[in-house]
Amino acid sequence: MVRNKALRIILAFLGIISVALGGIGVFLPVLPTTPFVLLAGLLFSFSSDRLGNWLEQNRILGPYLKHYRKGTGIPKKAKIKTLITLWTGLGITFYIVGKLPLIIMLTIIGTIVTIHIITIKPKQVTP
């Protein structure tokens, strides 16, 4: 924990912004959730035990930290939910935007993200 109170406030504020971006990323396919949640966890570890504990106990964002710390990768259920959300969001965006160059670009990005998510294999956790 940082001793300087002003710096702790700044770090906590940046952590809250990271949580907000990570939360938005749960629903917005083009915004990555995990990096923002991990950044928030790091910022809270330097600034606020209370916020850090809240993040770890959060039912939506907490599992991102837990899986990262345990090195267990992404569970199959989370992969399925992520891919459904990704492609639903992209489909809605395709319909709203309707511009072929943007649809092609987002399809390529979505495909790369899908391949990446599918190829992440959970590590075997030894008791």
In this structure, the answer to whether residues 1 and 52 fall within a common structural domain is yes
* Total structural domains within the chain: 2
Residue pair 110/86 in contact by the 8 Å Cβ criterion: yes
Using the 3D structure, point to which of 70, 91, 107 is the last residue of a domain: 70
Q: How many percent of the chain have pLDDT more than 70?
A: 94
Span 58-98, pLDDT tens digits: 998 888 787 777 777 777 777 888 788 778 878 888 888 88
In this structure, the answer to whether residues 3 and 53 fall within a common structural domain is yes
pLDDT value of residue 68: 72
pLDDT value of residue 9: 94
Cα–Cα separations (whole angstroms), residue 31 to 8, 75, 85, 96 = 26, 20, 12, 18
In this structure, the answer to whether residues 80 and 122 fall within a common structural domain is yes
Using the 3D structure, point to which of 70, 87, 116 is the last residue of a domain: 70
In this structure, the answer to whether residues 65 and 80 fall within a common structural domain is no
How many angstroms separate the CA atoms of 106 and 97, rounded?
Answer: 11
More confident residue, 84 or 32: 84
Task: Residue 52: give the domain boundaries.
Answer: 1-70
